[in-house]
Structure 1
Amino acid sequence: MNLIDDESNIIDSKLGNFDWVRLFSKITNTKIGDDVFIGFSNLIQNSVIGNNVQIASRSVIGFANENYAVIEDCVWIGAQAIIDPGITVHEGAVIGARTHVTKDVAPFTVVKGSSEYTHERKVTGLKKPNFRKFLLYHLQLKERNMYIKADANGNYISDRINSSYYEYLTGIS
């Protein structure tokens, strides 16, 4: 059971279970594990993505070449991050927003900054991303025709969720 938003494009790719791909994302020649959240307007090509991965909006992972990017389990990727082809982001790593990743990332490491400057540090006690309750909630909305959809002007409208309900659904505070 997956939720693929309208206007997303998935080509020659395999999704796991309980994956959620948001509006305007394009995924090509990629294998995706279970419980993966892919935010708005992402471009993911020639990649392998593990389980319990969260990818924020407007990120680019891999390119249209033979070198696969590998994102292991329980990785968080910030908005507008770029992960070059041939890179492995190991388990539990966190990639900061607008970070350009040009070399492999060690397990349970936080990386932030441009390719010229990165700050790395080990993290402990990292929670596993879990959006399954949130996904199931939105699948129910879609079944009731209450899910995100374009209005007459082409603007996409969704329901509003307050922070306490989001925390209940995701387990993330």
Structure 2
Amino acid sequence: QPYMVALMTQSLELKGDEKILEIGTGSGYQTAILAELAREVYSIERIRVLAKRARRLLEKLGYSNIKILLSDGTLGWEESSPYDRILVTAGAREIPQPLTDQLEEEGVMVIPVGNSYSQDLKVVRKRKNRIKTVTVEKCVFVPLIGKYGWDEGRLNE
């Protein structure tokens, strides 16, 4: 949804020099928007065909500031951390600890948090190693699957 992409992007409060971690590359649409507005984008996708397709498309479009990893997004991308901003494009039960750990001091994370059917879009700020969370609005995203997210086989429990 274009509105949600805009709201989430605006909530990141980008200035243009940020290093961003995106969880859920999907089609690469949000990834491309972030790449236009920030210095670097590290994007994680757990579905091989989506990661491959997005990588091919974004390279074809000439983006050189995007890296895509096929992996469990709830683990983050520790080797390239810390990140100034983190954007999660799937609904989490709770904020995955590895993502909080990989967020730079003074960093901002935007993440949908709730059950598998409905979430609150949250803006998370890290200040002096403390986390402050504000709810922006209600939303519905696909579940965040992974070690620190939903178990794919137990979504309806």
Give me the TM-score of the superposition, normalised by structure 1: 0.25
Rg: which structure is higher? Answer: 1
Q: Decide which structure has greater helix share.
A: 2
Give me the TM-score of the superposition, normalised by structure 2: 0.27
